[in-house]
Amino acid sequence: FSVEEALSDDIILVDVRTSEEFAKGSIPEALSRPLFDKLERAEIGKIYKQIGKNAAVKKGLNIIEPRLQDFLESLLDLKSHQLVIYCGRGGMRSSSVVRLLQHNGFRAAQMQGGYKMFRQYLLQKLEDPMPAFIVLHGHTGVGKTMLLKKLPDHLDLEGLAAHRSSLFGAINKTPRSQKNFEGLLFQNLRNLPDDRPLFVEGESRKVGEVFIPQNLANAMKSGMLVLLCASMKTRINRIVEEYQICDEKSFQQIDTILNSLRRTLGKLKVDQLRL
């Protein structure tokens, strides 16, 4: 299967890379079914380089053989579906799984080029012409995100990044990696109409630790701007409700951020903020 074919709605994607590889970047909605852990993969790679392919394959088979039954059972409920298997580059890991699944009666195929090919495809697509945008602007707490989620055909960049795009934006959240952010962005743009404007919240190039693709940033700059306003009291109430600083972990996060501000704001101002 090509990448484009593998992204069809009736396909179930199965990622057989390590858990660490999957966490750094994966195809949205793909299932993680790692063949090896990080250390096992490194050992097999070392054998491949130092001894050869056959020795590496033999080592891999020795490692996975005791797990084969559990691996097959983990996919048993999907036996009637078309499965597309991918690894890092469309190599031995995914091809061996495809053969195993086919031998056991599954409808399975390999995705050509693996995750690397998906990344190339994704980055090319993010360079395509963007739809028109209606861009919501305003100070923190005016309700941009709240309004955005009530509007049709919207693109929630902060939701995709899992970050509120502010100094304290990661509190009570687990921000996504750049690759996972781009993957979800690509998926959302594919599912949204391109013949009418999309609503989006005004952002800088950076949302937390991830960057908005330049092509999208340019399209947002040329979009129709809408300024939202709210009273100071309303903004404060919304911020307090949104950030939920109510446990030891969030208090520690706040303290770490405030300490980082000492150089720019000065010790006196930071200590006043603590009060």
| Contact between residue 47 and residue 59 where contact means Cβ atoms under 8 Å apart | yes
Tell me the residue length of the chain: 275
Closest CA to 135 of 78, 198, 200, 183: 200
Alpha helices per DSSP H over the chain: 3-6, 19-24, 38-50, 53-64, 68-74, 92-103, 114-125, 144-148, 157-161, 178-191, 214-221, 232-243, 248-260, 262-265, 267-274
- Beta bridge mates, 82: 11, 107
Which H or E run contains 133? strand 133-137
Q: Which residues are catalytic?
A: 87
